[in-house]
Structure 1
Amino acid sequence: MNYPLVAIVIPTLNEALFIGPCLDSILGQNYPFNRLDIMVVDGGSDDKTHEIVNGYADKWSNIRWIDNPRKIQSAAFNIGVSRSSASIVVRMDAHARYASDYISKCVAKLSTNPELGNVGGVCKVEAGAPTLMGKANAVLNQTSFGIGGAAFRIGTKACFTDTVPFGAFPRKVLDEIGPMNEKLSRGEDNEYNARIRNAGYKIYFDPQIISTYYSRPTLTSSVHQMYRNGRSIGVLLRTFPRAVGLRHVVPACFVVGMLSCLLFGWWVPILWNVLIWILVVYWIAALGATGLACLRFGFDMGFILPILFFSVHIAYGTGTVYGFLTKKI
């Protein structure tokens, strides 16, 4: 097998708890380590992230720390791409760890088809804290009702898709597409993958390429994350709608539908009945999804999951509406 030089770009901001396991999983790759250019591109961490990374960099010369004055992940990716001449760039997340054959499988798949512009795989989710809520947040990210039907979350068959996490990009595609949009503080990957597809390249999902992500530990942190994710979708819906899929806007339709029925019901009372039916259908679906999840993951989450489903759906939908209506990017 030919072993092209691979640049690994890891955006960070206060990832002291996770950057060590992330780097350890990269050190454990079966790809030749001397063919990896590993860059931790940091947006101003004030915890021990820098100290931990320096410990690795002192031992391995191809691990380096780079400052990211703009802080956001799109800027981190662009900095990493510009600081390396590698023919393949892999965008990894510090909040995850990677199977030992992650890089080799990405490189091998890219070599099979010049039309591939991005390759990635399944993202398994583990609890970010040893608590019932931490476990529930992990389950949330593994159910189609909870987080949508993206292939990388629930897919089991290889296919062309619209996006993958922690993707591997050929340099020639990056040179053609250009840098990530640094006007976007979130959702930059959706917009970038849409540009790749619009240029005629394909995005490939392979379930044999495996990473593991750590879920948010609390209800508050999960709701905050989903609100910000939803807001990024609202911004994309206004500025680059081709980057948004139907599954992304369902929570916003849910929120708008309920608010419309609640407000206009003062003039058209039948809308209050519609609101009741919307909630009835939703909670039937939520309880059904909870039951299926409990069969897979345990019944100790039977009370928490419906509340978590509702909370993150409202947060995501509200964020989408806000991102769409405001002029801020």
Structure 2
Amino acid sequence: MPTVSVIVPCRNERDHIEAFCRSVAAQTLPDGWTLEVLVADGLSDDGTRERLSAWCASDPRFVLIDNPGRIVSCGLNRCIEQARGEFIVRLDVHTVYAHDYIAQCLATWQRTGADNVGGPWKAEGAPGAASVVQRAVAAAFQSRWVAGGALSRDLAYEGEADTVYLGAWPRATFVRFGGFDENLVRNQDDEHNLRIHKGGGRIWQSATIRSTYVPRASKADVFRQYRQYGYWKPFVMKKHGQPAALRHLVPGLFVGLLLLSLLVMLAGALALAAWAPEAGTRASDVLGWITLLASVMLMGLSLLYGGAVLAVSVAIARQQGWALWRHLPDVIGAYQLGYGLGSLRGWWDAVVRGRPDPSFGRLTR
């Protein structure tokens, strides 16, 4: 009988691993298909391994694999190496899946013949007043204005895309395009999808493949998460000589302009103060104009961005509930400014230093 291999990277997921295993075990597969679930544990030290081992002992379809590399790309590759299935589906511990998630991945692949298939990336916070920040994080995540128009956030889109959430592949995809880049702590899926595109492959998103992602519950966690996403993106671009999409460049360029304007303004003000006795000279006049232009640019960019964030926050709150309103500007800033700052640091390390900073190698959840 043909087999579907589910591959799952995890580390320190004690509070979630058993619920996740129950949801996978309850998946409805098409007639004639069998299931195996390979979970690559990144040497968890919080009790995850013990709970996962007990589950594997009770259900032989589940197999625990060691992932000494600890990061997602290493875990995915260790699973792929041991997978027996003709079709391979990646799942994430912090996502809730429709009962037919795997079946719809299979059906979409059989219908389209694509090299990678998946569904839209839907985020949803827990209900209740205690989780209002998490619901604001989820609402901002789903906004096309916050996401830069990414198709992966469009819950109704059906068709070819540059990337999909998680992914599902016929085994032939990995034979043709290789596995995941183990040098990347984040964005290994974007890099793999870019490799598929450049190699002439196809990626297909289907609204029938349904899942719900549980996002971070604090603004600081969102900032750290997206700073890390932004940091690793330049390493992907450097490897392939191009961005996967132009929207990946915008946050870094915007934050770079803000910082450059601020630095020029401060440097100009300090220089003018030092040259006060020389006031009226041509050099001081030029310096004054440069300082003024930098100040105007900084203020203009700040006002423009602040106004846009407030407008988007109102639009989201109008649809998702006004209880989210006071948190949305902070959440949007955490997403976009965190990504932008991470991108700038990533470009420095990728181009100037030529190697990543180990401090960005730790996962942030």
Normalised by the shorter chain, which TM-score bucket? over 0.9
Distance 1:196 1:237 in 2: 15
Which aligned pairs between 1:126-137 and structure 2 lie closer than 5 A? 126-127=124-125, 130-137=130-137
Residue deviations 1:26-69 (CA, integer Å, cap 9, x gap): 12211069711101101111112222222321221010111101
In the alignment, which residue of structure 1 is the partner of 2:178?
178
> Which one of the candidate residues 297, 301, 312 is aligned to 1:278?
301
In the alignment, which residue of structure 2 is the partner of 1:18?
16
Distance 1:278 1:183 in 2: 35
Change (3 A) 1:294 1:270: same
Distance 2:236 2:264 in 1: 28
In the alignment, which residue of structure 1 is the partner of 2:41?
42
In the alignment, which residue of structure 2 is the partner of 1:4?
2
| 2:219–2:330 CA contact under 8 A, matched in 1 | no
| TM-score scaled by length of structure 1 | 0.94
In the alignment, which residue of structure 2 is the partner of 1:146?
146
Normalized per residue, the structure richer in helix is 2
Residue deviations 1:219-248 (CA, integer Å, cap 9, x gap): 111111011011011222333343531111
Say yes or no: does 1:51 pair with 2:50. yes
In the alignment, which residue of structure 1 is the partner of 2:79?
80
Distance 1:185 1:255 in 2: 23
> Which one of the candidate residues 98, 119, 122 is aligned to 2:120?
122
Distance 1:146 1:305 in 2: 11
Distance 2:46 2:149 in 1: 35
Which aligned pairs between 1:214-253 and structure 2 lie closer than 5 A? 214-253=214-253
Give 4+ residue runs of structure 1 displaced > 6 Å after superposition.
Answer: none
| 1:234–1:322 CA contact under 8 A, matched in 2 | no
Which aligned pairs between 1:181-220 and structure 2 lie closer than 5 A? 181-220=181-220
> Which one of the candidate residues 335, 338, 357 is aligned to 1:315?
338
In the alignment, which residue of structure 2 is the partner of 1:94?
93
Code of the residue aligned with 2:320 in structure 1: it is: F
In the alignment, which residue of structure 2 is the partner of 1:29?
27
| 1:235–1:320 CA contact under 8 A, matched in 2 | no
Code of the residue aligned with 2:43 in structure 1: it is: G
Distance 1:282 1:16 in 2: 40
Normalized per residue, the structure richer in strand is 1
Structure 2 residue matching 1:39: 3-state secondary structure: strand
Larger Rg: 2
In the alignment, which residue of structure 1 is the partner of 2:355?
328
| 1:137–1:216 CA contact under 8 A, matched in 2 | yes
Structure 2 residue matching 1:36: 3-state secondary structure: strand
Q: How many residues align?
A: 326
Structure 1 residue matching 2:22: 3-state secondary structure: helix
Code of the residue aligned with 1:252 in structure 2: it is: G
Structure 2 residue matching 1:124: 3-state secondary structure: coil
| TM-score scaled by length of structure 2 | 0.85
Residue deviations 1:127-170 (CA, integer Å, cap 9, x gap): 26942222221212111233332222124120100001121111
Q: Single out whichever of 60-69 and 255-264 deviates more from structure 2.
A: 255-264
Q: Single out whichever of 159-168 and 229-238 deviates more from structure 2.
A: 229-238
Structure 2 residue matching 1:242: 3-state secondary structure: coil
Code of the residue aligned with 2:147 in structure 1: it is: I
Structure 2 unaligned blocks of 5 or more: 269-286, 357-365
| 1:42–1:67 CA contact under 8 A, matched in 2 | yes
| 1:193–1:243 CA contact under 8 A, matched in 2 | no
Distance 1:96 1:5 in 2: 22
Distance 2:120 2:18 in 1: 22
Structure 1 residue matching 2:212: 3-state secondary structure: strand
